[in-house]
Structure 1
Amino acid sequence: MKPIKVGLLGLGTVGTGVVRIIEGHQEDLQRKTASAQISIEKILVQNLEKERTVYVNRDLLTDQAEDVIANSEIDIVIEVMGGVELARAYILEALERGKHVVTANKDLMALHGPEILAKAAEKGCDVFYEASVAGGIPIIRTLIDGFSSDRITKIMGIVNGTTNYILTKMSQEGAAYADVLKEAQDLGYAEADPTSDVEGLDAARKMTILSTLGFNSSVDLKDVEVKGISQVTKEDIAYGKQLGYEVKLLGIAESQDDHISVSVQPTMVKKSHPLSAVNGVFNAVYVYGEAVGETMFYGPGAGTMPTATSVVADLVAVIRNMQAGVSGREIFKPYKEKKLKTDEQISSKYFLLLHVDDKAGVLAKITQVFSQYDVSLESVLQHPNQHNPDAEIIIITHGANRASMNNVIAEFDRLDVIRSIKSVYRVEG
């Protein structure tokens, strides 16, 4: 049988793991691909002389992309170089030349997925991208195949390990956000510029991919409401814990009557919900199906070997399709018209922390505003705080639509007895 030859774009963290698995698991891979021998033909790198943590024959390395993309011997291109525009150009050219593609690039698939998948369908090629979301958790294949007979109504997940690490440390140690962020940077969990992670952009790109797959509609990044964790305080977390909640940065995608909403935001998660116990750099995705009910997928969301495992699993799937003569037939194509929910259709419970005048009658004015906009209250606590001369009121509402809550908050801004609206969080679980 003719060997399957692979070209690798990138030899960084993930690329190194891919080389280790392909070279170290040959017997296992052959048994899973009808005895196909997999060989790495060429690897694109930026620096040919750089010392690497895995041994690679010097003859395999190149700093010219054409040596991979235009190589007629190469059947499959694996893109693990990162970035968007250059990766997009390389992948489109590889597909144009009839090569199958495996990528771990979430930014690319969130921004240009439809274009890439359309080119793959045109050329009869496969494009698999399991590693682009949640590292070693096989959530993309699960949404496409495992839930193919069900109708998904909600996807809710912790899909960014950096922010989950930060919030976990703040919860467990009572530390301030800035201190934990610096620690995460020192440990390599957060980038020198952490904006993409802490402001929710990374999670938003992943939720774009998951909601498109889950709801069979073309969700764009601009459709995702995004709020990061940089304004979360240790006081917010402490009050949440007292009430039985943990703060998590959740991606939340919901579909009802074919209308969808997608958001990324810090959320109070009830401690009885499994997502509240997902700590550190781990990821988890919770999926609600009309038939199956509630399911959760948990595991490492990043790292060399977990992500590389997903990449090589996609490689195996490509080879099997090649052998069966069905390449390009698994390309996912959204078939439903995208209908976004209005604020009146988006409903959840809310947590509010208010700083108010410490005098009689304040609570009555506040509850009157809620009543005015048909928002009912689940619990109200007035909490003494020796560090704050104002009174602090903590409120958890029953389910309310976002339009009503926006009206409540706007009214609070005008209410003279409210000094500040300190925090507003969605509540789940």
Structure 2
Amino acid sequence: MTEMRTLKVALLGCGNVGAQVARILIDDAGMLASRAGARLELAGIAVRDVDAPRDVDLPRELFTTDADALVRDADLVIELMGGIEPARTLIVAAMRNGACVITGNKALVAKDGPTLHEEADKAGVQLSYEAAVAGAIPILRPIRDSLSGDRITRVLGIVNGTTNFILDQMDTTGAQFADALAEAQRLGYAEADPTADVEGHDAASKAAILASLSFHTRFALEDVYCEGISSVTAADIAAAKDAGFVIKLLAIAEKLGAEGTKTGTKTDAGVSVRVHPTLLPREHPLAAVHGAFNAVFIEAENAGELMFYGQGAGGKPTASAVMGDLVSAARSLVLDGPGRAETTTGQVPAAPISAAVTSYYIGLDVADQPGVLARIAQLFAEHGVSIETMRQTIHRDSDSQTESAELRIVTHRASEAALAATVQAVKGLDVINTVTSVLRVEGV
């Protein structure tokens, strides 16, 4: 009987996720060996401080501060350090030494994914990063493998648990943004500096990765239009709820033009990749994603609509995604097969936000006088934007004895350029007191 091969695993970083990966490698060694076809030996863990306190009790002799030496002698390298450097240098060195690499570093993959894939292709090794998007949810492998014989037309994702928790708190409790953020920080969902989450930067990195895999074209972080949720108010949430919507921060990647969009609007062909607060009808599957959970909704030509749902963060859930990639890479080495190459057969351009096709929700405070609705409707028509629904509420100021009207308009799908121009023109009407809200709408 042939003796089972041993593969050396180097772990770079031992934070919340890294500690759980190390625990699984040690505690579940037998199970992992049977599934990978080789023993996965944790050769060492590279950290900045070997004496730093950790949530998991791990053998001290595994720790080292010499990441370079650890990488040189490894068959498989797991990078969970985060940041750009030294992670990028270590990953490239590992691949050039013939090691397969598993990373959860969304920022690095979004920023430098093409270069890393080129290095992996040259070395004939596997580069995997399932843990970089949506934590425990197996989404990248299904897009890359299960849907490789289909054409994906659109991806909508709640890919940041912090922002979903905040918006969900605002929706369910009526909390203001600042109070919901404070609660997220108290529970550990948000960092002391929540900028990367609430301004959409974290979701934008994941959007670039999802778009690259879905449309077989390498998109970088700079191709992603990004808006965060810090300007979303309790009044926006309440108005959306009253109109039958919920607000979510969505990462969206969709085909435009003749190849993808379900609208008659003519736009330049390309892929729109964007992150912004979005109104969803409450009956949409993504509207039911609560708390810090993540979900990704995919539309494909043949498979139709698919949704993947689960925990988007946390040590154990994210470690699960890392281990899936590790076992897959180990199998590749055992079978002496080539690394799984990135499929970039298409070269679809990234479309500017002005070419995106969406609907708008527009809140207006207007003078309550005859002809106002007709003037607004005419202006929309002049800009080629069709109104789907319009609701009016009359407000009376008891002090001044004057009345004003609140209008809530939802448009049909049109180009972002046409919608933005319409809003700008509306602001110039003398019957408009103020534009109270402008948010994009999906799923209608």
For normalisation by structure 2, the TM-score amounts to 0.92
The question of 1:16 aligning with 2:19 is answered: yes
Distance in 1 (alpha carbons) for counterparts of 2:155 and 2:397 = 40
2:387 alignment counterpart: 377
The question of 1:39 aligning with 2:41 is answered: yes
What residue identity is the alignment partner of 1:16? A
Three-state SS of the structure 1 residue aligned to 2:5 is coil
| Shift in Å, 1:358 | 3.5
Moved more, 279-288 or 379-388: 379-388
Q: From 350, 356, 369, give the equivalent of 2:360.
A: 350
The question of 1:271 aligning with 2:274 is answered: no
Q: How many residues align?
A: 425
Of all paired residues, the percent bearing the same amino acid is 44
The question of 1:5 aligning with 2:2 is answered: no
Structure-2 change in CA distance of 1:211 and 1:125 (3 Å)? same
Q: From 364, 369, 390, give the equivalent of 2:374.
A: 364
What residue identity is the alignment partner of 2:233? T
**Conservation of the 8 A alpha-carbon contact between 1:318 and 1:327:** no
**Conservation of the 8 A alpha-carbon contact between 1:219 and 1:338:** no
Distance in 1 (alpha carbons) for counterparts of 2:412 and 2:100 = 50
| Shift in Å, 1:345 | 4.7
1:419 alignment counterpart: 433
For normalisation by structure 1, the TM-score amounts to 0.95
What residue identity is the alignment partner of 1:131? A
Q: From 270, 275, 280, give the equivalent of 1:259.
A: 270
What residue identity is the alignment partner of 1:91? I
| Shift in Å, 1:33 | 1.6
1:228 alignment counterpart: 228
Distance in 2 (alpha carbons) for counterparts of 1:54 and 1:365 = 66
2:242 alignment counterpart: 242
Moved more, 199-208 or 257-266: 257-266
Distance in 2 (alpha carbons) for counterparts of 1:410 and 1:365 = 15
Task: Map residues 79-98 of structure 1 onto 2, 5 A cutoff.
Answer: 79-98=79-98
Structure 1: which 5+ runs fail to align?
A: none
**RMSD in angstroms over aligned alpha carbons?**
1.7
The question of 1:57 aligning with 2:53 is answered: no
Distance in 1 (alpha carbons) for counterparts of 2:230 and 2:431 = 27
2:296 alignment counterpart: 285
Distance in 2 (alpha carbons) for counterparts of 1:387 and 1:4 = 75
| Shift in Å, 1:365 | 2.0
Task: Map residues 183-202 of structure 1 onto 2, 5 A cutoff.
Answer: 183-202=183-202
Moved more, 409-418 or 79-88: 409-418
Three-state SS of the structure 1 residue aligned to 2:134 is coil
| Shift in Å, 1:31 | 1.8
Q: From 320, 325, 328, give the equivalent of 1:309.
A: 320
**Conservation of the 8 A alpha-carbon contact between 2:16 and 2:55:** no
2:411 alignment counterpart: 397
Distance in 2 (alpha carbons) for counterparts of 1:264 and 1:344 = 14
What residue identity is the alignment partner of 2:198? V
Distance in 2 (alpha carbons) for counterparts of 1:342 and 1:77 = 37
Structure-2 change in CA distance of 1:408 and 1:135 (3 Å)? same
| Shift in Å, 1:192 | 1.2
The question of 1:428 aligning with 2:442 is answered: yes
What residue identity is the alignment partner of 2:346? K
| Shift in Å, 1:231 | 0.8
1:209 alignment counterpart: 209
Structure-2 change in CA distance of 1:386 and 1:11 (3 Å)? farther
What residue identity is the alignment partner of 1:425? L
**Conservation of the 8 A alpha-carbon contact between 2:254 and 2:272:** yes
What residue identity is the alignment partner of 1:375? V
1:155 alignment counterpart: 155
Distance in 2 (alpha carbons) for counterparts of 1:385 and 1:248 = 28
